[in-house]
């Protein structure tokens, strides 16, 4: 709240928009953590299909290591930490050989190195092909980036390799229509997707989807054949290279799972494509369950605290709640519910409450 009040730009939002934004931010944070309360190092769980990972630039300035949520809080508190969202097939590095003499406080008996971990420039705090940090200190207005579902790097829309960002599939309100995005560097690996039906491709008004890729292919490659989809022609691979892909919801469910395709996925090291949809769904399901449990625990703790108070304390709290309701009601009556409010208006509400409490003391 302090950051909202200290904002001197006088930005305006409605109360409904503000409350919705707070709720969305809390839910987003919980979804990233996947229900992890940050109490135990995840090392014993091995290479997890999905978990939140952090990079400590204080301990590993080369950006060649990642730590779990618990270790970021217990072992690296006060350090320069880079939040990496979530990573697939990753095992906590905290305290291994990459950290020198530093020993993990939560799980000290770790292997020298996690050979199956994968690292990119995100671990150094750099993103996109421009290698800029996020947030970028040299930019006044931060621009959101989108993540490639293959390499898991993040990209600015203007750096996707499109002739115009209008090619990104969006609806009339400008909201994205795609479920997943594959960057131009990874698209060659997934050139076989061109052989799939158009239903897996996100389509917008000026979409850079399947049609824009197929228009450059020879005519006899524009339709899916009876052969395995991974047996694409070299021309398909060439056309797909350096072309970003935008895929529709549930596109993974359409992927071929025959023995031959599964083998080819393994050869390409992209087996995660066929099972990641379920793992992501399970990850988010656990996060939502944990969030609901946390909210219920908070409500229960507040009720227990209230019931343990004396009669006088209860009356004071109830009077305070009543005063706040009256002040908010008065404020709302003077404004249209859809009318934007400023941080100064919110200041005034709480200032009026403080004055009222001072008069009654």
pLDDT digits (tens, 9 = 90+) for 22-57: 556 665 655 556 666 788 999 999 999 889 899 999
Q: Is 132 helix (H, G, I), strand (E, B) or coil?
A: strand
Looking at every residue in the chain, the average pLDDT score rounds to: 78
For residue 71, pLDDT beyond 80: yes
Please give the Cα distance from 340 to 325 (Å, whole number).
20
Q: Is 331 helix (H, G, I), strand (E, B) or coil?
A: helix
The distance of Cα 152 from the centroid of its chain, to the nearest Å, equals 11
Q: What is the CA radius of gyration of the chain?
A: 26
pLDDT of residue 1: 42
The percentage of the chain sitting over the pLDDT mark of 90, rounded to a whole number, equals 39
Question: DSSP assignment of 42-107, as one string?
Answer: SGGG-SBSSEEEEEETTT-TT----B-HHHHHHTSTTS-EEEEEEESSB---TTSGGGTT---SS-
Report residue 112's pLDDT band, with 50, 70 and 90 as the boundaries. very high
Residue 87 CB neighbours (<10 A): 20
Rounded mean pLDDT of 337-361? 62
The secondary element (H helix, E strand) that includes residue 33 is helix 15-33
Name the least confident of 99-103, 246-250, 268-272, 349-353.
Answer: 349-353
Q: What is the pLDDT of residues 276-325, one digit of tens each?
A: 776 666 666 766 676 666 666 666 666 666 667 676 666 666 666 667 66
At 345, list the tokens: 């208006």
Report residue 154's pLDDT band, with 50, 70 and 90 as the boundaries. very high
- 342 Cβ contact list (under 8 Å, min separation 6): 10, 11, 12
Pick the residue with more confidence: 117 or 337? 117
Handedness of CA 335, 337, 342, 343 (dihedral sign): positive
Q: Is the pTM of this model over 0.75?
A: no
For residue 172, pLDDT beyond 70: yes
For residue 156, pLDDT beyond 50: yes
Please give the Cα distance from 332 to 335 (Å, whole number).
5
pLDDT of residue 195: 85
For residue 354, pLDDT beyond 60: yes
Residue 269 CB neighbours (<10 A): 9
For residue 230, pLDDT beyond 70: no
Please give the Cα distance from 13 to 191 (Å, whole number).
44
């Amino acid at each position: 709240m302090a950051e909202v009040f200290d904002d001197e730009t006088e930005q305006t939002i409605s109360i409904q928009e503000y409350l919705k934004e707070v709720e969305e931010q809390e839910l987003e944070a919980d979804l990233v953590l996947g229900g992890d309360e940050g109490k135990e190092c995840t090392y014993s769980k091995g290479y997890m299909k999905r978990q939140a990972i952090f990079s400590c630039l204080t301990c590993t300035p080369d950006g060649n290591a990642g730590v779990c949520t618990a270790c970021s809080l217990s072992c690296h508190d006060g350090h320069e930490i880079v939040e990496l969202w979530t990573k697939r097939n990753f095992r906590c590095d905290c305290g291994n050989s990459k950290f020198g003499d530093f020993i993990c406080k939560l799980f000290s008996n770790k292997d020298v190195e996690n050979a199956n971990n994968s690292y990119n420039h995100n671990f150094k705090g750099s993103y996109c092909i421009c290698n800029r940090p996020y947030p970028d200190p040299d930019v006044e207005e931060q621009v959101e980036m989108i993540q490639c579902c293959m390499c898991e790097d993040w990209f600015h829309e203007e750096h996707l390799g499109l002739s115009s960002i209008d090619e990104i599939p969006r609806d009339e309100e400008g909201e994205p229509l795609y479920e997943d995005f594959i960057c131009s560097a990874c698209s060659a690996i997934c050139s076989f997707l061109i052989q799939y039906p158009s239903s897996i491709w996100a389509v917008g008004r000026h979409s850079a989807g399947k049609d824009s890729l197929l228009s450059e292919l020879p005519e006899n490659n524009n339709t899916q054949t009876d052969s395995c989809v991974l047996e694409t022609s070299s021309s398909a691979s060439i056309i797909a290279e350096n072309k970003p892909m935008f895929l529709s919801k549930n596109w993974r469910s359409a992927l071929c799972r025959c023995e031959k395709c599964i083998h080819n996925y393994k050869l390409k090291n992209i087996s995660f494509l066929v099972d990641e949809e379920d793992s992501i769904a399970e990850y988010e399901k656990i996060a939502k369950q944990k969030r609901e449990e946390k909210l219920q625990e908070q409500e229960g703790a507040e009720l227990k605290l209230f019931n343990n108070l004396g009669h006088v304390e209860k009356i004071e709290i109830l009077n305070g709640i009543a005063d706040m309701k009256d002040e908010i009601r008065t404020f709302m009556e003077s404004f249209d519910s859809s009318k934007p409010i400023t941080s100064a208006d919110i200041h005034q509400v709480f200032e009026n409450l403080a004055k009222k409490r001072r008069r009654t003391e």
